[in-house]
Structure 1
């Protein structure tokens, strides 16, 4: 009986010792694990350099030739076209590789390898020697700057191999990049000068490839008081904003001022009086815009601006008569037929008013108006001036 009691006592004591103290939870044993993360950046840089070309042409007159009366003014119009073509230079990619030990124990890093999708190997500057022990929670940053032969799009990939005890692994990261926005632009703008002409307008555009197209519009007033043949040459020059590179282009207009003169239409004389709207032609001074026109009760200028409503023969003839007189005063040669038409018209205006024309005479007036219209338009006589 004593022996049995002792066995029971011993078993009870052992059971009591094996139980955890009240309120205490058993803890599992955690084995430290390594963990490595790598990230990278890739920033492309390049320089865009523009090369410019220039062309110039006369848009009015489109054929590059003019026929003017002595003393006649003409506004020559030019278009100056420039094209800036870009070339990429100094291609480079820069960035960082960041290696982080996010585990609980140190790891040993081998030298990272960094390559581009086009085959180039990138040299990393990590500031340490490899193999390198990276403590838990620590990080290592490597930088790089790689020049490239061209502007193709690429992917930059890095691989990092690590070991920790009997464990090992390789982590990777990659970053793509394209050369779209230059970090430096050289000669991306120009100034254009044309000392002999006046700038009136300009337009500009750029295409998806970066090619810049610009057109500048200039005007120049030309006039020659003596008959002869003249060459009017105009030169435009551009200067780039950075390197101050220059280029120029010229356009030439041939001007003929015939000694027998040339004729202009009634539309020209109507708008080139001192009342405008076109530049003043001083031939008008030999008549006077405000001089009374025969029995019309109106001035020469007023008659020209009166529409021949209802086909009024008076005004139809008066418009061509006034234009022919101004053409003769401006030096245009006449013809016997034109002289006869002018003489008949002068007698007609000395006899009738716009409202007192017999029907038979009205028809005759329109016939002489047609003769003078042919003269004013250059179909007969010395020919028509440019206008």
Structure 2
């Protein structure tokens, strides 16, 4: 019995001794082992060259015929194009050579090459052959200029030996020149001293060719007859180098000295003191609020009353009022226009808008209205003003 007790005790002691202490991992002996890790960071500069074009969009032909004192809103389009040029291509990064084994290794000079054939110079801070202790890392850096923006793969390789063992280790990293690390003149500001900038140009995203169009407006008016030229110049300034450029557009304006020109009822409706367009002072010679014959309305009210149902009274009244204002503005007349105006004045002195007109009388009123409409639109008489 004592014998078996001793055997069991000895077995227990041996079992206890064969177990590793809790929390301590048994070490596993390994040979030589080397790994490589690398990065490749592309860099390049994008420089924009800007061009500007300015043109008149209204009037389309770039010429105007205006009556004395008439205002006209000239409209311009300014087109900007930013064309990029990429340069200063470079790749930089790190190469980490790690001894992941349990013994020292001897490293030969590492190489770093690109898929397009270029060799990169590594700065490792040591002389090769170099002994890299077990568990240690050798960090190398590189920075290389490149001839173009072609995408590439970068491969770093190192040969090593340790005792009777030898081998190579390598790593790759691909890169492409997509987003510039430096942007020169990536946006512009625009000024036009003689015009109102309808849309500001700023904060343009520097991606590829930039093409944008913006619009300017300005009122032109001349109180004296003659021939005029309105020059308008827009200027841009780039954001980085403060480079400037400009583009100009010209409008030729004629204000007839003899005979003048005529304006439509649509012009006179909107250019009274009630707006919305700039006031034409010719209205003051007639008076927007002056009573219009027997209508019970003012000149302004009659002009804005729709001739519903083909009401001959208002059809004639609209053209008569416009013609009256054109004559007051100095537009030359014709015998047919004079006859139509005289007949209209007799008509308005006799009838009201609500009066029932015979078919013959209504047709006659519309016929004279057609004559005055031709006059106001410039089909007869001195010709039309630009509106």
Moved over 3 A (4+): 21-32, 202-209
Measured after TM superposition, the shift of residue 223 of structure 1 is 0.7
Determine helix, strand or coil for the equivalent of 2:282: helix
1:252 to 241, 250, 253: 250
Matched with 1:311 is: 310
Matched with 1:375 is: 375
Determine helix, strand or coil for the equivalent of 2:220: strand
Measured after TM superposition, the shift of residue 29 of structure 1 is 12
Determine helix, strand or coil for the equivalent of 2:326: helix
Aligned equivalents of 1:276 and 1:342: distance in 2? 26
- Please say if residues 189 and 239 of structure 2, whose CA atoms lie closer than 8 Å, have aligned partners that are also in contact: yes
Structure showing greater radius of gyration is 1
Matched with 1:100 is: 98
Matched with 1:72 is: 70
Aligned equivalents of 1:214 and 1:93: distance in 2? 33
Matched with 1:296 is: 295
Determine helix, strand or coil for the equivalent of 1:381: coil
Aligned equivalents of 1:69 and 1:362: distance in 2? 33
Measured after TM superposition, the shift of residue 231 of structure 1 is 1.1
Measured after TM superposition, the shift of residue 242 of structure 1 is 1.1
1:135 aligns with 2:99: no
Query: Which shows bigger deviation, 352-361 or 303-312?
Result: 352-361
Matched with 1:3 is: none
Q: Report 1:1-387 matches (<5 A).
A: 22-23=14-15, 32-201=30-199, 210-259=208-257, 260-359=259-358, 360-387=360-387
Determine helix, strand or coil for the equivalent of 1:218: strand
Aligned equivalents of 1:362 and 1:32: distance in 2? 115
Measured after TM superposition, the shift of residue 30 of structure 1 is 7.0
Measured after TM superposition, the shift of residue 204 of structure 1 is 8.4
Structure 1 residue ranges without an equivalent (≥5): 1-18
Aligned equivalents of 2:317 and 2:203: distance in 1? 51
Measured after TM superposition, the shift of residue 326 of structure 1 is 0.5
Measured after TM superposition, the shift of residue 201 of structure 1 is 2.7
Aligned equivalents of 2:201 and 2:349: distance in 1? 55
Aligned equivalents of 2:271 and 2:290: distance in 1? 16
The TM-score with structure 1 as length reference comes to: 0.91
Measured after TM superposition, the shift of residue 26 of structure 1 is 12
How large is the Cα RMSD of the aligned pairs?
2.1
Measured after TM superposition, the shift of residue 150 of structure 1 is 1.1
Query: Which shows bigger deviation, 157-166 or 350-359?
Result: 350-359
Matched with 1:14 is: none
Aligned equivalents of 2:136 and 2:281: distance in 1? 92
Matched with 1:10 is: none
The TM-score with structure 2 as length reference comes to: 0.91
Aligned equivalents of 1:155 and 1:131: distance in 2? 26
- Please say if residues 189 and 202 of structure 2, whose CA atoms lie closer than 8 Å, have aligned partners that are also in contact: no
Measured after TM superposition, the shift of residue 211 of structure 1 is 1.1
Measured after TM superposition, the shift of residue 358 of structure 1 is 2.7
